[in-house]
Structure 1
Amino acid sequence: MPEHTDERLDAPFAYTVTRRTLLRGGLLGGVGLAAAALIGCGGDDDDDDEQAPAAQATAQAAATAQAAAQQDDDDEDEGGAQVAVTDEDVEDEDTVATIKRAEGFTTEAGRFVPFQIPEPDKPVKFGGTMTQRFTFDPGPLDPAIAAAGGTMTAVNIMYNRVLGVYSGWDSDPYARNDLVPELAESWEISEDGLTYTFNMRGDVKFHNIPPVNGRTLTAHDVKFSWDRYKDVGSPHRSYFLQVASIDVVDDQTVAVTLNQPTPDFIYPLATAYTTVHGPELADSGEITSNAIGTGPMILDHWTGGVGGAFDKNPDYFRGPVKIDRWELPLVRDAAAGWAQFRVGNHDFGMSAATSDELENILETNPETQYFSAPIFASTFALNFNLDLPKWEDERIRRGISLAYDREEILDVIYSGAGIVLPQMDWRFFWEDEPSVENGTLGNWWRHAPEESKKLLAAAGAEELEFDLVYYNYSNTSNSLQNEVLIDQFRRVGMKLNANAVDYTEYNSQWTTRSGESESFDGWASFSPTADHYVFGLNHSGSGGNRNRINDPEIDAWAEQHQVELDPDARTELARNVWNKVLDQVYRIEKPSGYAAYLQQPWLRAVRYIRPIGSGHFYLDTGYEAFNAWIDK
């Protein structure tokens, strides 16, 4: 379940993006960090479920594009926003293709917001305190019992993972699952895909604090942690469902045997949800209120209703930590957060939700750094309750989709500053960003009101009326979009009754798949694995399939996809699922908008806004703690 956040709260999260196409760009209107709560701060589904080496983004090119975009506003389309692209040769497996890659977007005010910004060519400075506006109430510190941002933010500052993803400031904004060693210095996968062997570093020490006292981490700690995650009570259990055994070969080697080949098994081991901890605090029961890890920072305090603070680990195995301290004061009120940022008390933790908001902060703080991230999947969708006979006729679902004017909503809500994509991250399915023009969005992802009327009439649903239940996570994501939907559907003779309910009531229906409403304005969680988008969102037996798709063909493809080791065959299975979901219109996705994330001019090497599997997810706090330095 997503964490409850105010629509104006800015928690460092971002979406991911687009290739080989010119995107319409612009500034997010409100979904910004409320979406952080949706995708990885809360429910079991956050952990339902990858990153191959990718070409690194050219930060200097982005900076050049930013300067060029601001020179001449006359180049912009009237009333809209644009995305700057570059043609570059990208080698993708055995194919070399020219890809139009978005480097950022231009706001309604004509300001270019890049997806990457350069860092100064100057020596790193050591010392100082980094302060982030924090919007999640600090929670228990046991990584095995919680998935919320109020837990995982702190956990990842203090603990490490067996594997990591490349997390340098210069990482490609398009990167996904670029696996690198972390606690393990190497790993092997057996030819049959059943055994994973991890060779641990021998120089990693826990924080030098009783009762752990700086001892060396061993394979026994890895087994201990993963066994706890495997436990039926852990929200991270789904990562380990196919694990038959976890065995310590020796002090530096741990082997995992699976029940069946699971190509995606390795990727969650590099996420924020599978950090490694020792048995000492767990055995004593202190692990919910204390943390002693191997990470870059050591706990000073973590207090509900107040926030937290951490001091640098002087013995960090990856090398010297540059900052002395990281403070995370709990500041939920957006106005208070802006005030603290304007006077320089907060280094980051704010995002501009509108073009005007960005211009206002730059008017008083012109040296503020700002950047964004691409989008690869929509967060919200109109989800039919497919348990109901009302939706059995696919002509009705298709007719509704044809009545839906996606471009109008983008213009009205985001001033053209966003994109509509399926909730399935397209990078796991296609080389190119999906579009109506290239055929990957199917026949019903277009606006054709007259055709909509004919389909509805043929299905005996000329005056279709149905209810939609939603919680207003943000005006732009939910209530305002729903108002436009009501009007669009009215134009073809339908009546949509959009009913706002409170947070608890909404999620008690949506996340449990028990709600009786005819449709839901439902969110989807994000993941680093293809399995989540193929099986997790669509298989009849998956808890993440919240609109209750029950399609035997999809089930068979998704089950085979889980165990298929041949990459080409696996991709074909994934595409089968994608195409069937879109052809049957099992849900109708809503637009997502871009956000501009803000940092003080002296903060260096922090990115912290990209999706899971990027190395800069909003819970990848350990990477940001290690990278960050203060240039003053």
Structure 2
Amino acid sequence: MRLTRTRQMLTAALAVSALTLGACGAGGEDATVDSDSNGTETNNGEVSDASVSIGMFAVPANLDFTTTGGAAIFEALLYNVYEGLVRIDAEGEIQPLLAESWEISDDGLEYTFNLREGVTFHDGTTFDAEIVKFSLERLDEWSANTPEQLAAVESVEIVDDHEVTVVLSEPDYDALFWLAGPLGAMFSPESIDDLATDANGTGPFEFVTYENAVRMELSRYDDYWGDPAGVAEVELVYYQDASAAANAVRTGGVDAILRSEAYDQLESFEADDSIDVQVGTTQGVVVMAMNDEHEALADPEVRRAIQHAIDKESVLAAATGGYGEILGGPSVPTDPYFIDFSDTYEYDPATAEQMLASAGVEDISLSFNVPNRAYAEASAQVIQDNLAEIGIDVTLDTQEFPAVWVEETMVNQDYDLSVVNHVEPRNMANYANPEYYWGYDSAETQDLFTEAAAATDDQEYVAAMEEVTERIVNDSPGVWLYNPPNVVLSTAGISGLPINDLGVGIDLSDVTVSQ
């Protein structure tokens, strides 16, 4: 069975639940949960001394996601070591976490959270309202992972030790959504100086050690406030090569692989009774950004011509063996405002050449910064060949990911073209930020994002976001290539692995090992 068929069914289910996400607690309603529950599926009391090793691909440069870009850090630590007031569950819905319930004022400017009692950080620090105030007001000091998404947070008012009110300067329909991700993580003030080398949270696992680009070790936190983790130890093993990771799960080197990219081996895995293959959704958008600091790329007509020049079917075949879903816009099928733009810029080199001639440009030479990930290198090779067909000379510059790519491309914005998989949820919001690395600066688009944020119901929000999406696609600051699936491989006896990749923390607390 092709992964795309499984993906279509999962996409439909998740899209429905995503529509309800924004309404959680809106209009002054309360969202509550039993105080003995952490809002996730439990491991049915199966607590053992077992350990599990899991293969991963995106490598954390360090442990500080407040100053270091990329999702690799927070996907390993959020929900496992660090927690926030709320979380996103496996179905894409917002659930209570360190807050037992919340209420939103009718004007959308005040979010009042009732906090859990008896919660401690791994170093023994008590979690309370002062921690919430410290953590959220510290967002001004973040230099990575888009803290501007919570720029509307004006202050945090302490009601008592276990109740706080987050005050916004203007309504933000997605505020709860952003609080459920890395921006909502709670930090102990005593730990701030060591964020790059140590992780101290309130989650079900304690951080043990990290050997850069090799492995990270976590252990069960015995004094966790909620249901205990299903395994005593987790080892995250980092691979740059998809085949090496696939061989590791075959030979018992690891117990599971998340986001497997060994697409050429999936049929053999499905035929192997000792390996379980599961396919879920992702928030990933593989996009080729075009930096309009380059004279030619500053012209939208040139960018649209490049759109027509790229054969996305060939890109998908080279990068994933054809698994995944071709995109034509910056959102994914699980976004409530998704529109299918895959036919908007059809592959048509002749049209692309005519558009370039009409724009009066010729002899274009572009540098292409490519992270050293298999999908990116394969995609870039196809794109280089495609652009050569319409007279655009492209020089590939392969960069170590994340260390070099994040610094040179994302931070310094020193590139003409670049391609990467943005795995964070609703990353389309970054087109409202002219300082983001793709440099898209449209006052009209920013106004539409503001209009969407001020929405008071799902219908109004979705309508505004659809208009935003249409404008971005017309302006073409990037080429949105495809939405990859989440392929999970595991050996017999491993259960509870997260199958849908929501682009936030990869929750491992429900993983169990049959003995």
The TM-score with structure 1 as length reference comes to 0.66
Tell me the equivalent position of 1:579. 470
Structure-2 change in CA distance of 1:333 and 1:558 (3 Å):
closer
The answer on 1:179 being equivalent to 2:94 is yes
The answer on 1:325 being equivalent to 2:236 is no
SS at match of 2:119: coil
Q: 1:219: how far off?
A: 1.5
Tell me the equivalent position of 2:23. none
SS at match of 2:508: helix
Tell me the equivalent position of 1:131. 53
Tell me the equivalent position of 1:474. 373
Contact 1:378 1:423 in 2 (8 A): no
Tell me the equivalent position of 1:230. 140
The answer on 1:268 being equivalent to 2:144 is no
Q: Kindly provide the CA deviation profile for residues 297-323 of structure 1, in whole angstroms up to 9, marking residues without a partner as x.
A: 234444557644333233322223332
Tell me the equivalent position of 1:35. none
Which of 423, 435, 447 is the aligned partner of 1:543?
Answer: 435
Q: How does 1:204-223 map to 2 (within 5 A)?
A: 204-207=119-122, 212=124, 216-223=126-133
SS at match of 1:434: coil
Contact 1:400 1:489 in 2 (8 A): yes
Structure-2 change in CA distance of 1:324 and 1:238 (3 Å):
same
The answer on 1:419 being equivalent to 2:319 is no
Structure-2 change in CA distance of 1:25 and 1:434 (3 Å):
farther
Tell me the equivalent position of 1:256. 166
Tell me the equivalent position of 2:293. 387
Which of 87, 99, 105 is the aligned partner of 1:164?
Answer: 87
One-letter amino acid of the structure 2 residue matched with residue 130 of structure 1: V
One-letter amino acid of the structure 2 residue matched with residue 157 of structure 1: N
Structure-2 change in CA distance of 1:568 and 1:477 (3 Å):
same
The answer on 1:598 being equivalent to 2:489 is yes
Q: 1:184: how far off?
A: 0.7
One-letter amino acid of the structure 2 residue matched with residue 484 of structure 1: V
The answer on 1:624 being equivalent to 2:508 is yes
Q: 1:239: how far off?
A: 4.4
Q: 1:595: how far off?
A: 5.5
Alignment partners' CA distance in 1, 2:290 and 2:497: 40
One-letter amino acid of the structure 2 residue matched with residue 499 of structure 1: L
Q: How does 1:221-620 map to 2 (within 5 A)?
A: 221-231=131-141, 237-282=147-192, 285=193, 289-304=197-212, 307-328=215-236, 337-338=245-246, 340-349=248-257, 352-360=260-268, 366-374=273-281, 378-381=285-288, 383-391=289-297, 393-411=299-317, 414-422=320-328, 424-426=330-332, 434-435=340-341, 442=344, 445-461=345-361, 465-478=364-377, 480-491=378-389, 493-503=390-400, 507-512=406-411, 514-515=413-414, 519-523=416-420, 525-529=422-426, 532-534=427-429, 536-537=430-431, 539=432, 541-544=433-436, 546-594=437-485, 596-607=487-498, 610-612=501-503, 617=504, 619-620=505-506
SS at match of 1:266: helix
One-letter amino acid of the structure 1 residue matched with residue 250 of structure 2: R
SS at match of 1:321: coil
Q: 1:189: how far off?
A: 1.1
Structure-2 change in CA distance of 1:299 and 1:355 (3 Å):
closer
Tell me the equivalent position of 1:192. 107
Contact 1:134 1:307 in 2 (8 A): no
Structure-2 change in CA distance of 1:573 and 1:430 (3 Å):
same
Alignment partners' CA distance in 2, 1:329 and 1:527: 21
Q: How does 1:93-112 map to 2 (within 5 A)?
A: none
One-letter amino acid of the structure 2 residue matched with residue 465 of structure 1: I
Structure-2 change in CA distance of 1:465 and 1:481 (3 Å):
same
Q: Kindly provide the CA deviation profile for residues 263-287 of structure 1, in whole angstroms up to 9, marking residues without a partner as x.
A: 22221221244322333445xx566
Structure-2 change in CA distance of 1:368 and 1:257 (3 Å):
same
Structure-2 change in CA distance of 1:348 and 1:412 (3 Å):
closer
Q: Kindly provide the CA deviation profile for residues 72-131 of structure 1, in whole angstroms up to 9, marking residues without a partner as x.
A: xxxxxxxxx7657559899959x99xxxxxxxxxxxxxxxxxxxxxx9x99946341122
Structure-2 change in CA distance of 1:569 and 1:390 (3 Å):
same
Contact 2:158 2:165 in 1 (8 A): yes
Q: Kindly provide the CA deviation profile for residues 192-246 of structure 1, in whole angstroms up to 9, marking residues without a partner as x.
A: 1111111011233444x5xx2xx65321222222233333567564344222211
Alignment partners' CA distance in 2, 1:189 and 1:487: 52
Q: 1:629: how far off?
A: 1.2
Contact 1:260 1:563 in 2 (8 A): yes
One-letter amino acid of the structure 1 residue matched with residue 48 of structure 2: F
Structure 1 vs Structure 2 CA RMSD: 4.0
Q: 1:475: how far off?
A: 4.3
Alignment partners' CA distance in 1, 2:246 and 2:364: 43
Alignment partners' CA distance in 1, 2:267 and 2:279: 15
Is there any run of 5+ residues in structure 1 with no aligned partner, and where? 1-23, 27-80, 97-118
Alignment partners' CA distance in 2, 1:551 and 1:233: 22
% identical equivalent positions: 19
Structure-2 change in CA distance of 1:339 and 1:551 (3 Å):
closer
Contact 2:53 2:254 in 1 (8 A): yes
Q: 1:180: how far off?
A: 1.0
Tell me the equivalent position of 1:11. none
Q: Kindly provide the CA deviation profile for residues 341-363 of structure 1, in whole angstroms up to 9, marking residues without a partner as x.
A: 33434212365434442345567
Contact 2:330 2:473 in 1 (8 A): no
Structure-2 change in CA distance of 1:306 and 1:470 (3 Å):
closer
Q: How does 1:49-64 map to 2 (within 5 A)?
A: none
Structure-2 change in CA distance of 1:311 and 1:85 (3 Å):
closer
Structure-2 change in CA distance of 1:185 and 1:454 (3 Å):
same
Larger Rg: 1
